[in-house]
Structure 1
Amino acid sequence: MDATRLRTYLQQFEPKLWTTLREGYTLQHLRADALAGLTVAIVALPLAMALAIASGTTPEKGLHTAIIAGFLISALGGSRVQIGGPTAAFIPVVFVVIQKFGYGGLVLCTLLAGLMLIAAGLLRLGTLMKYMPQPVITGFTAGIAVSIFSSQVKDALGLQMEEVPAEFVERWSAYARHFATTQPATVAMTVLGLVVIVGLRYWKPKWPGFLLALLVCTAATTVFALPTDTIGSRFGELPTALPAFDFPRIPFERTFELLPSAFTIAFLAGVESLLSAVVADGMTGGRHRSNGELVAQGVANAASALFGGLPATGALARTATNIRAGARSPVSGMLHAGYLLLFMLLLAPLMRYVPLAALAAALLVVAWNMSEYEHFRSTLSAPWGDRIVLLLTFLLTVFFDLTAAIEAGVVVAAFVFMYRVSEAVEIRSGVRTADDDLDEAGARTRDEQQRQRLPRGVEAYQIGGPLFFGAANRLDSLLDQFFEKPKVLVLRMRLVPVIDASGVHALRKLAQRCQREGIVLVLSGLQEQPNRVIAQMGLHGDAGDLHLASDFDRAVQLAQSIVAARG
């Protein structure tokens, strides 16, 4: 590898923190980051404890994760505003690993996952994770949401039972047997927490709903001496010391048994962090370094495990909060970790009074947000193959485990795609395909002649081939290719024989981004299958900034009228 190629290779791992400091970091930036870091720390404090308890461990381990991993993800990561820490996606797999192998087994799992993430980043697999089929992501995300909801029933109702089974059916059977032990005071605190969180979301969306719900429920429990479980009654006093290096007994002899769970943790950490980074890019207009982000996630997970923490990844909701609070750089995420450390050192004696029902209410809201009900319902109207992948992944996630769900979902999605491609070739039999030799000079001449017909302020791109999950993400960077944003973008789709749910999702994201940037999107020449699927999934034309045209000539006429109307 020559010096230039080596330099190019290493650039993709440069932390965004270094990039920010090299561009110039002012006192004004520090003030903005300090305020954003404090805002997101207030949101993260109750969630970190709630996620740890739901995972089957103690609340301080969630705080240690948010402090150690949150600091490293921001300091070393490839996104300017990513906030890292424990997330709800890990709850099912962490709960099962701790039950079967103890906390030492989880440490080994998290270390292995960290090494997998580092290797994936160094091998430049970050871009490949973007090709995950959307029905698989939607299916296991909804399945995780159901699992989280299921895990919180005991604390939400105050059921008097020793252990909560890991398996879904056995868990609900145990709930049914102990339903008569429901505690009215606990149910009241759960309802109060939900009312505060949901009410503030509608009336005061900028207020920290999770934290205020904890404060209100804690005050009610203390003032009225309600008989409900608290952090102190179940876990005792929280430690008021810095997270310390801890190397518990690790069952290395069971490494091969733990590999599937380690892969699941690595997969979840990689996919969730990159999805969060993509959303952050859409909100800020930046571009993250996917491979550098994976390396940072790997280092953060390894460090979290060795300092008494849990698996960690980029947290979408906290990242969005960070952006809305005015974050300018990774410094906000590093300060968020510092604030959490300060909270833990100063407020630990008071946290013992927090009722577990309030934390359960917070996680019930998190589960609802994760379910992405509208997206799930939209995918159910997709072609039959996507529906099968969605439901298969969802059911396996709920009733079996995430590893089996992901593997089965991806394999079935691959077979569905192969079937679609073969079906498309059969339909187009006798028509020249992309594999045939083309007269490139003649094709370029025709393209140039057609481009000359475009009025000023109009750009046109042509898509050739199936718009499926492996190619859909190419639309993400389409608008970034323009030096001057056009008024109208014509997407020529007459050579797209097949589209799936991921393709429609990519078109919807492109239409939403065009709308934000004041660009009218026109889809021209839709074939029968893409036209039918787009209509089925609710992406309608001739509404707002999205229009459909039967062919390119009509698309050009429509673009001319739009440009003329806009002056």
Structure 2
Amino acid sequence: MQTKNTFIYDLISGLTVSFAALSLGAAFGTMSGRGAFAGMIGAAIIPLVTSTFGGTRIQASGPTAPMTAVSALVVAFAYEHFPDKTLAEQFITLIFLLNAAMLILTGLLRLGKLIRFVPQVIILGFMNGIGLLIWADQIKRLFGLGDKTQISGSLTTNIVVAGITLGTIYLIPHILKWIGLPERIRKFVPSMFITIILGTIVTTAIQVDVEHVSLGNTVGSFGEFVAMLKNYFPSSSELLTSENLKLALPYALQLTLLAYLDSLLTSLVIDKMTGEKTKQEQELIAQGMANGASALLQGIPGAQATIRSVLLLKEGAKTRLAGVLVGFFALLGFLVFSHYITLITSAVFVGVLFKAGLDVIDRDFMKAYIKNKWSADKNRNLQLIFIIYSTLVTILWDLNIAVVTGTLFFFIAKKYVNMVDAEEEFEIVESDEISG
């Protein structure tokens, strides 16, 4: 129930998280190849829908690093397969709409309960793979490797800007603590948003000759926006063929599996914090509705975002309104500040995406493995093998194959060698406890 006190908490937490949502949305939009415009649309529209209709009462959904990694593959394939921009954009929209339909279908078929069958070791591995793919993608952009066009300007300057951006995001909380800013104020300071602003001010002031962020599908008026939506809606008879649908389905399936895992795993984390229980089918249907709305508005798809959802709770969110306000403030920021996005250098977003990649990669298992001397434990070694397997298959082959085959092999190992899955959290045992 909404009261004056809960509204204030929801307002503050929603505003705080919206800074991270909009910053990441622009960065993820750039990474996807669709432009910052598409990412910011997703950052605004998705939380508005999921927080209103989702099965997790308090949450913050939007474009995520894993979803964007696959979206980037979709955009790259579309423009390679369809030289005509309109057809390419229609194909992208088609895949995103298929993803939305599949998510809604998984909810209607009550498939949310299957999340408990995916082993933790496989989840850790594929998340590591996604994080490493993000790093590889940004390194390719910096150096112009593979099929990536190199970010224009001085290579050295771009590397320095990206590195300083990454370091500053981590340093800001420590600097604020060092200058004596009270914790009750520090926790509301969005270090990523501030880093982007500082980086933009500095590079603009000294007139660094490097590439700046592209908005992508920009429009000058509401009429132009509506015309763009009609133009890029997948309605061309040339596009809607059985052959093109066969090309689209594997990508839509990848996005669906990823949104399923991303959203429901995050919901488990949030449920532990709140003591509530997510209505999984309702959550999947809401995520599908949100991704469908984002696709129709030329945005990119997303899922329930772990870090943003946890941050929303830690900032004191009390009701669904908090998540809705994340979307509202992100939309307001998009409408007011979108024209200033082009002042941001591309290398700044590379640094932001390096941070996003690090956030996805799990480091707790390896820390515990080394410090607890698990190398002598047969079961821990098997867990490590499965993590490495799903990481490598995700990077070198396919996310779906990593999850499906990894899960299958795990249950075979569980049956024949009594393998036990990894915990969700790992304790570091002191050396004297190990020896004793």
TM-score range, shorter chain: 0.7 to 0.9
- The letter of the residue matching 1:400 is W
Contact 1:60 1:239 (8 Å CA) reproduced: no
- CA distance in structure 1 between the aligned counterparts of 2:105 and 2:398, rounded to whole angstroms: 24
**Among 347, 354, 369, the residue aligned to 1:357:** 347
Are 1:141 and 2:127 counterparts? yes
Secondary structure at the counterpart of residue 352 of structure 1: helix
Please tell me whether the aligned partners of residues 70 and 334 of structure 1 are also in contact (alpha carbons under 8 angstroms): yes
Name the residue aligned to 2:420: 500
Contact 2:97 2:291 (8 Å CA) reproduced: yes
CA contact (8 A) 2:37 2:216 kept: no
% same residue: 26
CA distance in 2 between counterparts of 1:352 and 1:112 reads 31
TM-score (ref. length: structure 1): 0.65
What's the counterpart of residue 397 of structure 1?
394
Alignment of 1:377-396 (within 5 A): 378=368, 382-396=379-393
- In the TM superposition, what is the alpha-carbon distance from 1:324 to its structure 2 partner? 1.5
Contact 1:197 1:210 in 2 (8 A): yes
Q: Which residue of 2 aligns with 1:229?
A: 211
Q: Read off the aligned partner of 1:408 and give its amino acid letter.
A: T
- Residue 239 of structure 1 and its aligned partner are, at CA, apart by 5.9
Q: Deviations over 1:131-180 (max 9, x none)?
A: 2111111111001111101111255x4x4x4x852xxxxx7xx98xx99x
Could you tell me which residue of structure 1 aligns to residue 233 of structure 2?
A: 248
Q: CA deviation at 1:182?
A: 5.0
CA distance in 1, matches of 2:286, 2:336: 29
Deviation digits for residues 468-502 of structure 1 (CA, Å, limit 9, x no counterpart): xxxxxxxxxxxxxxxxxxxxxxxxxxxxxx45133
- C-alpha distance after superposition, 1:219-269 (max 9, x if no partner): 11111001111125x859676759755543363322222222212111111
Residue of 96, 100, 106 corresponding to 2:92? 106
Counterpart amino acid of 1:373?
Answer: R
Task: Determine the structure 1 residue equivalent to 2:67.
Answer: 90
Displacement of 1:338: 1.1
Return the match for 2:293 from 295, 303, 319: 303
Between Structure 1 and Structure 2, how many residues are aligned? 399
Counterpart for residue 414 of structure 2: 417
Instruction: Within 5 Å, give how 1:196-345 maps onto structure 2.
Output: 196-204=168-176, 206=187, 207-232=189-214, 235=216, 245-246=229-230, 247-249=232-234, 251-253=239-241, 254-345=244-335
CA contact (8 A) 1:238 1:351 kept: no
Q: Is the 8 A contact 2:132 2:361 kept in 1?
A: yes
CA-CA distance at 1:540 after TM superposition: 8.5
Given that residues 237 and 352 in structure 1 are in contact (C-alpha distance below 8 angstroms), is that contact kept between their aligned partners in structure 2? no
Q: Which consecutive unaligned segments of at least 5 residues does structure 1 have?
A: 1-23, 166-170, 421-497, 510-536, 544-567
Unpaired segments of 5 or more residues in structure 2? Answer: 79-87, 177-185
Q: Residues 261, 376 of structure 1: CA spacing in aligned structure 2 closer, same or farther, 3 A cutoff?
A: farther
CA distance in 1, matches of 2:219, 2:360: 29
For residue 271 of structure 1, give the secondary structure of its aligned residue in structure 2. Answer: helix
- Which residue of 2 is the match for residue 61 of structure 1? 38
Bigger strand fraction: 1
Question: Which string of whole-angstrom CA distances, capped at 9 and with x for unpartnered residues, describes residues 36-62 of structure 1?
Answer: 111011111110011111112111101
Aligned to 1:479: none
Q: Is the 8 A contact 1:238 1:348 kept in 2?
A: no
Task: Note if contact 2:45-2:290 (Cα within 8 Å) is conserved in structure 1.
Answer: yes
Name the stretch that deviates more: 285-294 or 354-363: 285-294
**Conserved in 2, the CA contact under 8 Å of 1:74 and 1:83?**
yes
> Would the alpha carbon gap of residues 540 and 194 (structure 1) be closer, same or farther in structure 2, given more than 3 Å must change?
closer
2 CA distance for matches of 1:222 and 1:146? 31
CA contact (8 A) 1:393 1:405 kept: yes
Q: CA deviation at 1:390?
A: 1.8
Q: Kindly tell me: are residues 202 and 275 of structure 1, through their superposed partners in 2, closer, same or farther at Cα, counting changes over 3 Å?
A: farther
Asked if 2 retains the 8 angstrom alpha-carbon contact of 1:69 and 1:312, the reply is yes
Alignment match, 1:367: 357
For 2:333 and 2:219, the matched residues in 1 are separated by 12
SS at match of 1:501: coil
**In structure 1, the residue corresponding to 2:57 is in which secondary structure?**
coil
TM alignment of 1:484-523, pairs within 5 A: 498=418, 500-502=420-422, 505=423, 508=425
Let me know the Cα RMSD of the aligned residues: 2.9
CA distance in 2 between counterparts of 1:223 and 1:210 reads 20
Larger radius of gyration: 1
Paired AA for residue 256 in structure 2? A
Q: Is the 8 A contact 2:38 2:216 kept in 1?
A: no
1:410-440, CA deviations, whole angstroms, 9 ceiling, x for partnerless residues?
22223222323xxxxxxxxxxxxxxxxxxxx
Query: Secondary structure of 1:231's match?
Result: coil
Residue 299 of structure 2 aligns to a residue whose secondary structure is coil
Taking a change above 3 Å as real, the CA distance of residues 235 and 66 of structure 1, as seen in their structure-2 partners, is closer
- Read off the aligned partner of 2:212 and give its amino acid letter: T
CA deviation vs aligned residue, 1:331-375 (integer Å, no higher than 9, x gap): 111111111111111112222101111111111011112111222
Q: Is the 8 A contact 1:239 1:348 kept in 2?
A: no
Q: Matched residues in 2 for 1:238 and 1:35: separation?
A: 31
Distance 1:333 1:110 in 2: 23
Cα pair distance change 1:240/1:60, threshold 3 Å: farther
Q: How does 1:4-23 map to 2 (within 5 A)?
A: none
Given that 2:93 and 2:234 are in contact with CA atoms closer than 8 Å, whether structure 1 keeps it comes out as no
The answer (yes or no) to whether the contact 2:37–2:338 under 8 Å persists in 1 is no
